[in-house]
Structure 1
Amino acid sequence: MKKSKLLSFLATLLICSSMVVAKSKPNIIFVLVDDLGYADVGFNGSTYYETPIIDGLAKDGVVFENAYMYPTCSPSRTAIATGKQSFRTGVFTVPVLEQGNEQENVFSRWTVGTEHTMYSQPMAEVGYKSIHIGKWHLVGPYPLEELKMDFPIKEKLKQPDPWDFSWYDTHMKHAKPYYPEGRGYLKNVAGTYRGDPALEVDGYKNPTGGYFPPFSNPFLENKEGDEWLTDRLTDEAIEFMDEHEDGPFFINLHYYTVHRPIRGRSPEMVEKYLNKPGDPITGQGTQKGRQGERDAELATMIENLDYNMGRIIDFLEQKGLRDNTMILFTSDNGQNVGLNNNLRGKKGYIYEGGIRVPTFINWPGKMKPRRTKTPISGLDFFPTFMDLADIDYDGILDGDSITGLFKGEPKKLKKRPLFWHIASQNKHGACSVIRKDDYKLIQYLKDGALELYNLADDPKESKNLVSENPELTQKLLKELTNWRKVNKAQLPPESPLEF
């Protein structure tokens, strides 16, 4: 064979080989909604909010009835991105939400250091074309100063006013390793240090709230035809998938919706929900006055989210990509606005309303559609992505792949405990938690006080069973304290506990 023909043959072989690799790895769309509560969707019982597209995807996939995050976005998103527990990263809550002094807290980090690998990095190494769209919140406003501080940090971190862009030049010149492009993504759209979209003058008080254009986000260029932030972020996802349809692609679609400030998508939609009967079981849509108006505005944001999920599905079907695309849909914590009378607490609380989130995975033909009660955690997503991408990752991961739940109920996943460690205060005192089988034990770090709940019988966590069930309490407490000890989890200075 002549040299030119040999080179041509090898080149063709290489291209074909690349195409086979691309086809063998699934496309992944990871939809992370902000502050969407467990019951804010129809597939978890809401009759007030309208989510027919999302409900259909859930029905045809696997719904995780007991899917958990941290009570606030920073530790949830850090755990998801790194696959690591909070004591490894030092991110316990949103720093600006911390309450109390240096004796009561191990003050939280904000910036995730480069020593912590994110799932997007090994995925890029095996050929995934990835984009991050929407909320990032994995870097602080002053990362260079923050990372020079000794840990534990001795003071609560601060942030500038939303409309103060004095941080921008430093971020562009020196903080890129902490942004998506430094983490394996080809592009970052709208991801900043902020946890909400309201970068306009007056922040939450501004009529646009960051949801209506013109957008003041320096990482989101205004375009002709912009009407609503969630629509625009979906445009970006569709455009990227269109450019990389040969795959494999990974879409980190982390919507800002439904985080405050709450804005009605349109007056007509708000009016529709104001005139709609509320749900007496969850309490959604039953409030009066300004609270009732805000519930209606929130409902329009949820309906718009559903509309945009429909746009994504339509695109995938038109391009013939649906069967090779897995969709993971979840939220970063419980609801912040609105009601769910079926669960105790909301965003910021370690109770079920603050940490249990609506979650499903949809992948046509690759799963047995059903609802599973097996508990999972946001920590499980990193190892799941590695499993799907066939990556032999040897870094520290605190979760497990949940691909076994696509068609079965692995005993390993059903019987394992889930843990939380929150060493700083927000809505309540610093605490550690274990959830095992149907029980959840909370230990407060200030004085060792305990709460035990049977989540199967008492999802509202209304009855503390510590006195009634001392044997189980001590058994779970021993497992929790051993876990803390083995991992050398940090405790607030005032805590009398030993790990």
Structure 2
Amino acid sequence: MSKLTALCTLALTVSVSSFGHAKPNIIFVLVDDLGYADVGFNGSTYYETPNIDRLAGEGLVLENSYMYPTCSPSRTAIATGKQSFRTGVYTVPVLERGSDQENIFSRWTVGEEHTMYSQPLADSGYKSIHLGKWHLVGPYPKEEMEGTWPRSEKLDQPDPWDYSWAAYHKSEACAKYYPRGRGYLKNIGGTYRGDPALEIDGYKGETGGYFAPFNNPFMDQKNPKDKWLTDHLTTEAIDFMDEHKDEPFFVNLHYYTVHRPIRGRSPELVEKYVNKSGDPVTGQGMQAKPKDKLKSAEYASMIESLDDNIGRIADYLERNNLRENTLILFSSDNGQNVGANKTLRGKKGWIYEGGIRVPTFMNWPGKIKPRRSKTPISGLDYFPTFMEVAGIKYNGVLDGDSIVGLFTGEPRNLQERPLFWHLASRFHHGTCSVIRKNNFKLIQFLKDGSLELYNLEKDPAETHNLAAEHPEVAQKLLRELTGWRKQNSIPLPPESPLDY
């Protein structure tokens, strides 16, 4: 037993799942940059997602499901169950703007001291596979982990076509930062990069990484099973499930789609959406310029391809009598980047709802009551939820809560609890801390302490700052927010005049 596995084992005990004698299978589908309204079950009439909508309609749709505004902190929080201040991952490092006085520059690599949900699952008997985007390690993890923190400069990355990092990343010394060192039996396509464009010219390359050859060191280049990346990852997932269908499996299917670079799935699909009427409510497909309309149609074709592949997974489970014992979780790592949604403010990179509110459903026939829930949840909740579903008593530090109670009801403790964010590095806007509680959302900007308050029930588009009109609400939430920072000794950027 490795030192890491031994430490992980100390933090848990295994019990029989409360959902039955056989441990349930778990499929966690995380889409990249899929916006709240990019699916039919949240109102899109332009994008076509019938397979996703069917599973959502038969399951639990979480209308107020939240992530961080960018992928690195979201994925780190999901994997570890920990807030950004514990891991030091505040945003994608290469996106940071400003000096070391304005930022606590973000880490990239998640250290061994932070257990990921895949480890206790593996120790309790789950056969697990990671497919697609990993992004939980930086390009130079050795230098990063041995460096002095906080840093005076942000981290950097090589050009997409520079493979000088690959040999070390595939070595035994680096395995601890990759899926194989975190309890997964296989890693299909997970690297340090946040997109698939590992080719000459990167985003401007012909394939953008979505068509073979994929140029990914962690993927079979000689004989990929499919020529389209989303299809390929799904085929690998189905093959793994088929290999382990007689034992509990965990599938971490983290698609690269619909992250840029945008590529049309096929000329026929792109033409279909070019000729389709747009949605004036969300703004999807409403672009006037032919170039912009084409890009919107290509994006729509990627979403339809995603939907086709979710349908393939559901069909496989049904054919093999696995649906009744399989939990499917479907979500996104942040708000839309390329897509449009005029009903929410902001998009990827913004702390407003368009940047952090994501499409989410959970489906488990006979175990989850089909409906829509308004109870706010966070990506931090997935780790403890997986533990409860799998019958694992995990004793490590977790900042979220199991949401198993939502499978059949509306627990008051989940309805009334606050959700917190802490962004100590800059991207689209200044550093800030946020609390969301009882339909109100308070943002405190750390540079000067200024406040924004929104009633999300009455004003989901966050058009009207209520901080001056309702100072009693703002101050009550502020006391809770600052109390959370003080209790956890959460660091502030050097320029911040705040005490905590």
TM-score, normalised relative to structure 1 = 0.95
Identity %: 72
The runs of 5 or more residues in structure 1 that have no matched partner are 1-16
| CA displacement 1:47-104 (0-9 Å, x = unmatched) | 0000000000000000000000000000000000000000000000000000000000
Aligned-partner residue type, residue 154 of structure 1: S
RMSD: 1.5
> Counterpart of 2:11?
none
Aligned-partner residue type, residue 163 of structure 2: F
Secondary structure of 1:213's partner?
A: coil
> Counterpart of 1:46?
44
- Verify the 8 A CA contact 2:62 2:361 in the aligned structure 1: yes
* Deviation for aligned residue 1:23: 5.5
Query: What is the rounded CA distance, in whole Å, between the counterparts of 1:448 and 1:107 in structure 2?
Result: 20
> Counterpart of 1:184?
183
Matched, 1:338 2:336: no
Query: What is the rounded CA distance, in whole Å, between the counterparts of 2:188 and 2:201 in structure 1?
Result: 23
> Counterpart of 2:157?
159
Q: Within 5 Å, which residues of 2 pair with 1:313-332?
A: 313-332=314-333
Q: Within 5 Å, which residues of 2 pair with 1:285-300?
A: 285-289=285-289, 290-300=291-301
With over 3 angstroms needed to count, the CA separation of the structure-2 counterparts of 1:231 and 1:23, relative to structure 1, is: farther
Q: Within 5 Å, which residues of 2 pair with 1:379-458?
A: 379-458=380-459
- Verify the 8 A CA contact 1:23 1:247 in the aligned structure 2: no
* Deviation for aligned residue 1:22: 9.9
Secondary structure of 1:371's partner?
A: strand
> Counterpart of 1:230?
230
Query: What is the rounded CA distance, in whole Å, between the counterparts of 2:329 and 2:441 in structure 1?
Result: 26
- Verify the 8 A CA contact 1:28 1:325 in the aligned structure 2: yes
Aligned-partner residue type, residue 272 of structure 1: K
* Number of aligned residue pairs: 483
Aligned-partner residue type, residue 194 of structure 1: R
> Counterpart of 2:192?
193
> Counterpart of 1:5?
none
Aligned-partner residue type, residue 45 of structure 1: G
> Counterpart of 2:65?
67
The runs of 5 or more residues in structure 2 that have no matched partner are 1-14
Query: What is the rounded CA distance, in whole Å, between the counterparts of 1:203 and 1:146 in structure 2?
Result: 24
Query: What is the rounded CA distance, in whole Å, between the counterparts of 1:221 and 1:288 in structure 2?
Result: 41
> Counterpart of 1:168?
166
Secondary structure of 2:301's partner?
A: helix
- Verify the 8 A CA contact 1:109 1:153 in the aligned structure 2: no
| CA displacement 1:368-395 (0-9 Å, x = unmatched) | 1000000000000000000011111000
Secondary structure of 1:446's partner?
A: coil
Query: What is the rounded CA distance, in whole Å, between the counterparts of 2:313 and 2:225 in structure 1?
Result: 19
| CA displacement 1:12-49 (0-9 Å, x = unmatched) | xxxxx99x999521000000000000000000000000
| CA displacement 1:229-265 (0-9 Å, x = unmatched) | 0000000000000000012000000000000000000
Query: What is the rounded CA distance, in whole Å, between the counterparts of 1:97 and 1:270 in structure 2?
Result: 30
Moved over 6 A (4+): none
* Deviation for aligned residue 1:175: 1.1
Matched, 1:106 2:89: no
Matched, 1:362 2:350: no
Query: What is the rounded CA distance, in whole Å, between the counterparts of 2:406 and 2:131 in structure 1?
Result: 28
* Deviation for aligned residue 1:154: 2.3
- Verify the 8 A CA contact 1:22 1:247 in the aligned structure 2: no
| CA displacement 1:245-296 (0-9 Å, x = unmatched) | 0120000000000000000001110000000000010000001222211110
* Deviation for aligned residue 1:165: 0.5
> Counterpart of 2:209?
210
With over 3 angstroms needed to count, the CA separation of the structure-2 counterparts of 1:421 and 1:224, relative to structure 1, is: closer
- Verify the 8 A CA contact 1:107 1:156 in the aligned structure 2: yes
Q: Within 5 Å, which residues of 2 pair with 1:78-89?
A: 78-89=76-87
Secondary structure of 2:278's partner?
A: coil
TM-score, normalised relative to structure 2 = 0.95
Secondary structure of 1:24's partner?
A: coil
Matched, 1:29 2:24: no
> Counterpart of 2:3?
none
* Deviation for aligned residue 1:182: 0.3
* Deviation for aligned residue 1:225: 5.2
- Verify the 8 A CA contact 1:196 1:260 in the aligned structure 2: yes
Matched, 1:301 2:299: no
* Deviation for aligned residue 1:224: 5.2
Aligned-partner residue type, residue 190 of structure 2: G
Query: What is the rounded CA distance, in whole Å, between the counterparts of 2:41 and 2:103 in structure 1?
Result: 38
* Deviation for aligned residue 1:491: 0.6
Secondary structure of 1:441's partner?
A: strand
- Verify the 8 A CA contact 1:23 1:248 in the aligned structure 2: no
- Verify the 8 A CA contact 2:19 2:389 in the aligned structure 1: no
Rg comparison, structure with higher value: 1
- Verify the 8 A CA contact 2:212 2:224 in the aligned structure 1: no
